[in-house]
């Protein structure tokens, strides 16, 4: 039996979006002016309205994208261009979907100012007090699950007249989100993190200031994300979000209980464990390091025992580099190497947690032996 504890990477699709997707898979171009185009447009409009209601935004503010990565890129690069360049304020623990466009902007002359981070949380906000082209910060970190003070960040940036992008990819569908209440300029989300289809992204973008176009084409989605829309994915995303939001409060309590069982169980069985998930954090996250062990060996040994977890750092290429998030938290490079991220979600059960606890002591001991040999 397999035990999936990598929900922050992607979550199994719920049945409602599968049904919504299948129902609308044959829809044609919602831009068509004839009957089949109008029919597709109605499904798209319904999806847009439902998403707007669930995230407390205006329907016109909902931009469908093909991933969270795309939403982050369009916002960061687009807001920078709309401002005509200048200084950018960012947290150093951002996902590569934000960090990489920032690097690209830096190469074009942007000055990036990093907000200080203490124990994984952005602390000093003084850099936000002078006007900037944009500020960007994630709502919750994908590795540690630690929640960032986004309300304070938005308020401080707004006072200086600086547009703010919030990467809420780990939060949407897991905690309440009010785009209106938050007051951010843009916000990114991704359907596969809340049980929707992969490659279903969302960008919420206020009317003004709007990101300048990064992609150029037929003008769909207010010109911010041109390209023929995938109506089936939009409908599936809305359906998944509706179910996720309905279950969110109960799920948070349930997952917090499971996470505690996992955390306490690991600490009771294994010596010398660093727990990186501390303070206010997403309920399903438990990011730890087992100093002396290699994360890659741990992941392989866990996999052999039927347990699917990850080292946590976003490395699509499979190259295990030291996590920039843990380094920014002050974790030593050696200790970052033994990192494992367990993330629980909708399908997680006590059996999944107990399966980890049954083998963790021996697994870490073996990985530490291999670490000593290497």
Cβ contacts of 358-363, under 8 Å, gap ≥ 24: 359/302, 359/305, 359/307, 360/265, 360/266, 360/269, 360/270, 361/269, 361/270, 363/298, 363/301, 363/302, 363/305
How many CB atoms lie under 10 A from the CB of residue 32? 14
What is the nearest approach in angstroms of ligand PLP to the Cβ of residue 142? 3
In the bound complex, which residue of the shown chain has the CB atom lying closest to ligand PLP? 68
Residue 227 preceded by cis peptide, ω within 30: no
Q: Is 142 or 297 the residue whose CB approaches ligand PLP more closely?
A: 142
Which span sits near ligand PLP by CB under 6 A: 105-113, 162-170, 246-254, 274-282? 162-170
What is the nearest approach in angstroms of ligand PLP to the Cβ of residue 260? 23
What is the nearest approach in angstroms of ligand PLP to the Cβ of residue 363? 25
Which span sits near ligand PLP by CB under 6 A: 18-26, 155-163, 166-174, 330-338? 166-174
For residue 200, give every residue at least 6 positions away whose Cβ sits within 8 Å of its Cβ, in sequence order, or none: 64, 66, 67, 190, 191, 192, 230, 233, 234, 236, 237
Degrees to nearest 5, angle at CA 147 with 254 and 303 = 60
Q: Exposed, middle or buried, 360 (CB in 10 Å: 0-12/13-18/19+)?
A: buried
Size of the site for ligand PLP (CB under 6 A): 14
| 328 contributes a contact to ligand PLP by CB under 6 A | no
What is the nearest approach in angstroms of ligand PLP to the Cβ of residue 149? 16
How many CB atoms lie under 10 A from the CB of residue 238? 29
| 190 contributes a contact to ligand PLP by CB under 6 A | yes
Tokens of 273: 């464990």
Which span sits near ligand PLP by CB under 6 A: 62-70, 256-264, 267-275, 347-355? 62-70
User: Which stretch of DSSP H or E encloses residue 342?
Assistant: strand 339-343
Binding to ligand PLP, residues 227-286 (CB under 6 A): none
Which span sits near ligand PLP by CB under 6 A: 63-71, 122-130, 271-279, 350-358? 63-71
Question: Angle formed by the axes of helices 68-83 and 96-107, to 10°?
Answer: 30
User: Using the rule CB under 6 A, which residue among 17, 101, 201, 371 binds ligand PLP?
Assistant: 201
Tokens of 61: 């503010």
User: Using the rule CB under 6 A, which residue among 4, 40, 52, 67 binds ligand PLP?
Assistant: 67
Q: How far is CA 2 from CA 53, 93, 243, 269, 349, in A?
A: 36, 31, 25, 22, 12
Helical H segments across 14-116, by residue range: 15-24, 35-54, 68-83, 96-107
What is the nearest approach in angstroms of ligand PLP to the Cβ of residue 68? 3
What is the nearest approach in angstroms of ligand PLP to the Cβ of residue 372? 33
Spell out, one character per residue from 8 to 47, where the chain touches ligand PLP: x when CB under 6 A holds, - when not. ----------------------------------------
Reference 192, options 170, 177, 176; nearest CA is 170
Choosing from 25, 315, 334, 369, the catalytic residue is 315
User: Using the rule CB under 6 A, which residue among 69, 77, 289, 310 binds ligand PLP?
Assistant: 69
Distance CA 204, CA 183 (A): 11
User: Using the rule CB under 6 A, which residue among 6, 61, 72, 251 binds ligand PLP?
Assistant: 72
The yes-or-no answer on residue 315 being catalytic is yes
Binding to ligand PLP, residues 95-154 (CB under 6 A): 95, 97, 138, 142
What is the nearest approach in angstroms of ligand PLP to the Cβ of residue 196? 10
Token pair 């707007």 is found at: 52
For residue 77, give every residue at least 6 positions away whose Cβ sits within 8 Å of its Cβ, in sequence order, or none: 101, 104, 105, 211, 214
Which span sits near ligand PLP by CB under 6 A: 123-131, 163-171, 209-217, 265-273? 163-171
Sign for the pseudo-dihedral over CA of 175, 325, 320, 260? negative
User: Using the rule CB under 6 A, which residue among 6, 167, 230, 251 binds ligand PLP?
Assistant: 167
The footprint of ligand PLP (CB under 6 A) covers 67-69, 72, 95, 97, 138, 142, 167, 169-170, 190, 201, 314
Residues classed as catalytic: 315
């Amino acid at each position: 039996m397999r035990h999936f504890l990598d929900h922050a990477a992607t979550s199994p699709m719920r049945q409602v979006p599968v049904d919504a997707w299948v129902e609308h898979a044959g829809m044609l171009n919602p831009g068509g002016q004839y009957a089949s185009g109008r029919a597709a447009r109605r499904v798209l409009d319904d999806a847009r309205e439902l998403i707007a209601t669930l995230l407390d935004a205006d329907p016109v503010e909902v931009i469908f994208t093909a991933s969270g990565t795309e939403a982050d890129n369009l916002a960061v690069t687009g807001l920078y261009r709309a401002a005509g360049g200048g200084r950018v304020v960012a947290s150093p623990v951002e996902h590569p979907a934000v960090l990489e466009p920032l690097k690209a902007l830096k190469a074009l002359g942007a000055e990036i100012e990093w907000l200080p981070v203490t124990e994984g949380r952005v602390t000093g906000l003084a850099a936000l007090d002078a006007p900037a082209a944009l500020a960007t910060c994630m709502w919750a970190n994908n590795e540690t699950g630690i929640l960032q003070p986004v309300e304070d960040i938005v308020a401080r940036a707004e006072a200086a007249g600086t547009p703010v992008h919030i990467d809420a990819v780990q939060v949407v569908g897991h905690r309440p989100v009010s785009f209106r209440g938050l007051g951010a300029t843009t916000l990114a989300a991704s359907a596969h993190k809340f049980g929707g289809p992969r490659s279903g992204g969302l960008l919420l973008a206020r009317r003004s200031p709007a990101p300048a176009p990064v992609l150029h084409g037929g003008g769909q989605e207010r010109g911010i994300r041109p390209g023929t829309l995938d109506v089936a994915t939009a409908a599936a995303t809305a359906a998944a979000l509706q179910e996720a939001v309905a279950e969110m409060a109960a799920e948070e309590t349930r997952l917090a209980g499971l996470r505690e069982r996992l955390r306490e169980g690991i600490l009771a069985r294994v010596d010398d464990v660093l727990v990186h998930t501390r303070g206010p954090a997403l309920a399903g996250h438990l990011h730890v390091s087992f100093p002396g062990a290699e994360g890659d060996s741990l992941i392989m040994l866990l996999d052999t025992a039927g347990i699917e977890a990850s080292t946590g750092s976003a490395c699509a290429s499979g190259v295990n580099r030291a996590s920039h998030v843990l380094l920014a938290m002050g974790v030593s490079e050696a200790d970052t190497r033994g990192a494992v991220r367990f993330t629980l979600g909708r399908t997680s059960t006590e059996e999944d947690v107990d399966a980890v606890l049954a083998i963790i002591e021996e697994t870490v001991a073996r990985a530490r032996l291999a670490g000593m040999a290497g």
